[in-house]
Amino acid sequence: MSFLHLFLGLISSLRVLCGTEYSIIILRFCQGMLVDRLICVSIFLCVDCLLCVYLGNILFNPRETMKVIVITGSTRGIGYGLADSFLDHDCAVIVSGRTQESVDAAMTRLGARHDRERIHGWPCDVCDYGQVQALWDAAQARFGSIGIWINNAGVGQSQTRIWEQVPDDARIIIATNVIGTVNGIMVAIPGMLQQGSGALYNMFGAGSDGFRIPGLALYSTSKRAVSYLTKALVREVRDLPLIVGAISPGMVITDLITNQYTDRPQDWERAKRIFNLIADRVETVTPWLAERILHNRKNGATISWLTPTRALGRFLLSPFRKRDIFS
Ligand SMILES: NC(=O)c1ccc[n+]([C@@H]2O[C@H](COP(=O)([O-])OP(=O)(O)OC[C@H]3O[C@@H](n4cnc5c(N)ncnc54)[C@H](OP(=O)(O)O)[C@@H]3O)[C@@H](O)[C@H]2O)c1
């Protein structure tokens, strides 16, 4: 709490305690310190304006009330970074991943940096509707009303052509990225309708815009489906007190990216050059995303980190500004 908040807090207590006498007390106080009546009145008006802004902030700025945020797949990578960033904004966060071990490890890391009372963990495989419902129930039981639900859990793919993919891996990509998102929607939207409010975000990725990337067809197909789902949902909630949006994080160095190269070290060295041009670290992107998500009031918004302008800027500046995001 800043000195200004403390000062305004004291003044507002005075206002409540003294009622109409409040302005007289302030004026008398100013007069005792200064001779000029005009200056006294100006000071009074300034203090009163600041007070109104302060009280308005408390009443209307949701960041002042604790927002409860559920993030699927938040034991590492972007989901974890978002959890960390939301905690920086005094939100309460429910961390989730497929196993109790990964959830516990994430909670320990977050607990070392933030107030443990605002962190809750719950294992949940998003492919299983029952587990997603249990995640909602656990979050609600712990913190009450859920403000934001982020369908973040996702898996990538090894770079191969469609027919060369291991069948079980193909199933997992579609199940996690598409069915997982559908399950999140089917649980969170009715829950939010019962609450009377809420915001849901889906995670876009390569392919969401229809752009085709060789070797990433299954992942891109799943993200194209997430994009379609999101746009359809935005229309479906149009007349409801809910917000649906998308998050487009750009390219972020996480396991999802690096795992593609585990058995191809020579390709990794080549890919690193591209990543140094275009990609970012989790801790660079997620504070920015979290801030935008908390401020968004628009149904249908896409919160996008790597806009075409930013990407172009990176390319144009690359001969003059060397980036090394791996050191
Ligand atoms: N990295 C990028 O450049 C990039 C770019 C655009 C979009 N995205 C999207 O951003 C999201 C997060 O990606 P990331 O890069 O942070 O990946 P990541 O580092 O591999 O993390 C994936 C997270 O999802 C969880 N997860 C995986 N399968 C799950 C399942 N079936 N149920 C519940 N949780 C599951 C993992 O937790 P456990 O292992 O503990 O289960 C982990 O917490 C994904 O939707 C991805 O498509 C990423």
Looking at the structure, tell me whether residues 155 and 253 fall in a common domain.
yes
The answer to whether the beta carbons of residues 106 and 95 sit under 8 Å apart is yes
Residues 299-308 have pLDDT tens digits of: 999 999 999 9
| Cβ burial, residue 311 (10 Å; 0-12/13-18/19+) | middle
Distance linking the first and last C-alpha atoms of the chain:
36
Nearest to 81 by CA among 245, 247, 230: 247
Looking at the structure, tell me whether residues 37 and 112 fall in a common domain.
no
Hey, which of 256, 276, 303, 325 would you mutate to test ligand 1's pocket, going by the most ligand atoms within 8 Å of its Cβ?
256
Sheet architecture: strand order including 242-248: 119-121, 92-95, 68-71, 148-151, 198-203, 242-248, 302-304
Mean pLDDT across the chain, nearest whole number?
Answer: 89
Average pLDDT of the segment spanning 44-65:
57
Specify if 324 maps to a domain.
no
Average pLDDT of the segment spanning 54-63:
52
* Separation of CA 263 from chain center: 32
Average pLDDT of the segment spanning 88-111:
98
Q: Which residues of 105-115 are buried (b: 16+ CB within 10 A; e: fewer)?
A: bbbebbeeebe
How is residue 301 written in tokens?
Answer: 């918004």
* Alpha carbon distances (Å) from 138 to 73, 96, 231, 257, 315: 16, 11, 28, 31, 45
Specify if 325 maps to a domain.
no
Which secondary-structure segment (H or E) carries 267? helix 265-278
Split into its structural domains, the chain has a count of 2
The answer to whether the beta carbons of residues 152 and 106 sit under 8 Å apart is no
Looking at the structure, tell me whether residues 165 and 264 fall in a common domain.
yes
Looking at the structure, tell me whether residues 121 and 253 fall in a common domain.
yes
Indicate which residues carry an active-site annotation: 219
Residues 234-260 have pLDDT tens digits of: 999 999 999 999 999 999 999 999 998
How far apart CA 167 and CA 179 sit, in angstroms, is: 17
Cβ atoms < 10 Å from Cβ of 218 = 23
Looking at the structure, tell me whether residues 278 and 158 fall in a common domain.
yes
Point out the ligand 1 atom lying closest to the alpha carbon of residue 259: 20
- Show contacts of 37-43: CB within 8 Å, 24+ apart: none
Looking at the structure, tell me whether residues 36 and 106 fall in a common domain.
no
How far apart CA 95 and CA 70 sit, in angstroms, is: 7
Looking at the structure, tell me whether residues 8 and 131 fall in a common domain.
no
The answer to whether the beta carbons of residues 48 and 100 sit under 8 Å apart is no
| pLDDT at site 48 | 63
Residues 19-53 have pLDDT tens digits of: 656 666 666 766 666 556 667 666 666 666 566 55
Asked if residue 260 has its Cβ within 6 Å of ligand 1, the reply is no
Between the CA of 191 and the centroid of ligand 1 the distance, in Å, is 24
How far apart CA 123 and CA 141 sit, in angstroms, is: 15
Looking at the structure, tell me whether residues 202 and 94 fall in a common domain.
yes
How is residue 194 written in tokens?
Answer: 């019962």
Query: What is the span of the domain harbouring residue 46?
Result: 3-60
Specify if 18 maps to a domain.
yes
Residue 327: pLDDT band with limits 50, 70, 90: confident
Q: What pTM did the predictor assign? A: 0.84
Asked if residue 75 has its Cβ within 6 Å of ligand 1, the reply is yes
Residue 62: pLDDT band with limits 50, 70, 90: very low
Specify if 181 maps to a domain.
yes
Which residue has a Cα nearest atom 20 of ligand 1?
256
CATH code of the domain covering residue 302: 3.40.50.720
Looking at the structure, tell me whether residues 77 and 29 fall in a common domain.
no
Asked if the model's pLDDT at residue 219 lies above 70, the reply is yes
Specify if 21 maps to a domain.
yes
Asked if residue 203 has its Cβ within 6 Å of ligand 1, the reply is yes
Residue 193: pLDDT band with limits 50, 70, 90: very high
Between the CA of 75 and the centroid of ligand 1 the distance, in Å, is 9
Specify if 327 maps to a domain.
no
Q: To the nearest whole percent, how much of the chain has pLDDT over 70?
A: 81
Looking at the structure, tell me whether residues 55 and 149 fall in a common domain.
no
How far apart CA 156 and CA 226 sit, in angstroms, is: 14
Looking at the structure, tell me whether residues 14 and 85 fall in a common domain.
no
Asked if residue 181 has its Cβ within 6 Å of ligand 1, the reply is no
Specify if 321 maps to a domain.
no
Asked if residue 176 has its Cβ within 6 Å of ligand 1, the reply is yes
Question: Residue 100 phi/psi, 5° resolution?
Answer: -60, -40
How far apart CA 158 and CA 172 sit, in angstroms, is: 12
Specify if 326 maps to a domain.
no
| pLDDT at site 1 | 45
Between the CA of 71 and the centroid of ligand 1 the distance, in Å, is 11
Residues 2-21 have pLDDT tens digits of: 555 556 566 666 665 666 56
| Cβ burial, residue 327 (10 Å; 0-12/13-18/19+) | exposed
Looking at the structure, tell me whether residues 54 and 69 fall in a common domain.
no
Between the CA of 317 and the centroid of ligand 1 the distance, in Å, is 30
How far apart CA 156 and CA 177 sit, in angstroms, is: 9
